[in-house]
Amino acid sequence: MGQVTLRGVSKHYGTVEAVRDFDLKVMDREFLVLLGPSGCGKSTVLRIIAGLEDPDEGTVEIGDRVVNDVEPKDRNIAMVFQNYALYPHMTVHRNIDFPLKCRGMPKPERDGLVAEAAESLGLTPLLDRRPAQLSGGQRQRVALARAIVRRPEVFLMDEPLSNLDAKLRVQTRTELIELQRRLATTVVYVTHDQIEGMTMANRLAVMNEGALEQVAPPSEVYAHPASLFVAQFIGNPPMNTVIGKPARVDGELGIETSGGQIPLTPGQCQAVEASSAESVAVGMRPERITIASSGPLPATVAVVESLGSEHHVICRLADDQEVVVRLGTDVPVPKEGARVHLGFEAGHLHLFDAATGDRIGL
Ligand SMILES: Nc1ncnc2c1ncn2[C@@H]1O[C@H](COP(=O)(O)OP(=O)(O)OP(=O)(O)O)[C@@H](O)[C@H]1O
Ligand SMILES: [Mg+2]
């Protein structure tokens, strides 16, 4: 079974804490995406699973065995990197064949497996070419073929699409997902690209500064980000946040900001009271905000960006905080300089303790 379990894993490089107390269980046949900004420790986690780095603490299990003391080549994993690392002097056929040959498998058996892997990635007509005679996308497919030919239990992929141009990246993304379903294998996939993460993952594991912030399906991460960091990392344009303090106006608890009073639902009021937060970050997704002639937050329209399929209206609150509103093309768009009011349903707000970044309530 291809599950991967990390328990209490940490790794330092000198004084840098690259991975901090990491607990993660990747299910058999799951496509799990490790997502996070540059330097947050994604590659280190992958390299620890692969056995290319030893953790300072914690255990790594692949299937149902602890592999801390198992050599990388005996872990039954295959790794695909950003730079495909093909052998330039070898044909596509020999590149794909290489890992099998290293294992001493007899030629007839190898030829069958190479033909099958090449076929499943559309490489059959290219088997006699060398890497220099291929496009970037074709090279990446050769790297994938070389990884799948060994039938590993688990694939580890580190930004495998980042060298491809935008169009090819989208196409290869789809091919990779289809391949994973067809082979029914487990994939741990590293990227800093939130769109890649959102579109490919069964579950997203969002990392920040060496630690896991949230592990959940993409829709759940988007709808209920567990922390302010996740809230602002996922979504484009990013979630707006306005900082304020819990305060009562006419007996009703809300969040008082210098730009206006933000009303809350009864459930949110309870959650804010139960938390000891002195200062609250109120998160608003740009597509959840409406522009009207009245509403809780007065604002001035600073800039309107038209993207064809949507508009981004950048508004400035009374206290100069910026709020981006995403409007479809079927609603009226205000003019730059217009004085407006921003509205939202309290149920669509996200509340975080501004000091810790922890989510408040559901
Ligand atoms: N061999 C090393 N020696 C010292 N520091 C290292 C080493 N490898 C990684 N680090 C540090 O550990 C931290 C995590 O690095 P890692 O490569 O895992 O990040 P990443 O999330 O993969 O980033 P990126 O998206 O840029 O690839 C970084 O601060 C990095 O500088
Ligand atoms: Mg990396």
Any atom of ligand 1 within 6 Å of the Cβ of 15: no
For the chain, domains (ranges, CATH) are 4-232 (3.40.50.300), 238-353 (2.40.50.140)
Helix 92-102 / helix 107-120 crossing angle, nearest 10 deg: 130
* Ligand that comes closest to the CA of residue 12: 1
Any atom of ligand 1 within 6 Å of the Cβ of 16: yes
Question: What is the bridge-based pairing of β-strands 186-191 and 154-158?
Answer: parallel
Tens place of pLDDT for every residue, the chain, 362 residues? 799 999 999 999 999 999 999 999 999 999 999 999 999 999 999 999 999 999 999 999 999 899 999 999 899 999 888 777 889 999 999 999 999 998 899 999 999 999 998 988 889 999 999 999 998 888 988 998 998 898 899 999 999 888 778 888 888 888 889 889 988 999 999 999 999 999 999 999 999 999 999 999 999 999 999 999 999 999 999 999 999 999 988 888 899 988 888 999 999 999 999 998 999 999 999 999 999 888 889 999 999 999 999 999 999 998 888 999 999 999 899 999 999 999 999 899 999 999 999 999 88
Index of the ligand 1 atom closest to the CA of residue 40: 21
CA–centroid distance, 47 to ligand 1, in Å, is 11
Q: Look up the pTM and report it.
A: 0.91
Identity of residue 79: M
**E-only strand ranges, the chain:** 4-13, 16-26, 31-35, 57-62, 65-66, 77-80, 154-158, 186-191, 203-208, 211-216, 240-249, 252-257, 260-263, 280-284, 290-292, 297-306, 310-317, 322-328, 339-343, 350-353
CA–centroid distance, 39 to ligand 1, in Å, is 5
Residue with CA closest to ligand 1 atom 31:
39
* Ligand that comes closest to the CA of residue 40: 1
Index of the ligand 1 atom closest to the CA of residue 36: 21
Ligand 1 binding pocket mutation candidate from 43, 159, 162 (most atoms within 8 A of CB): 43
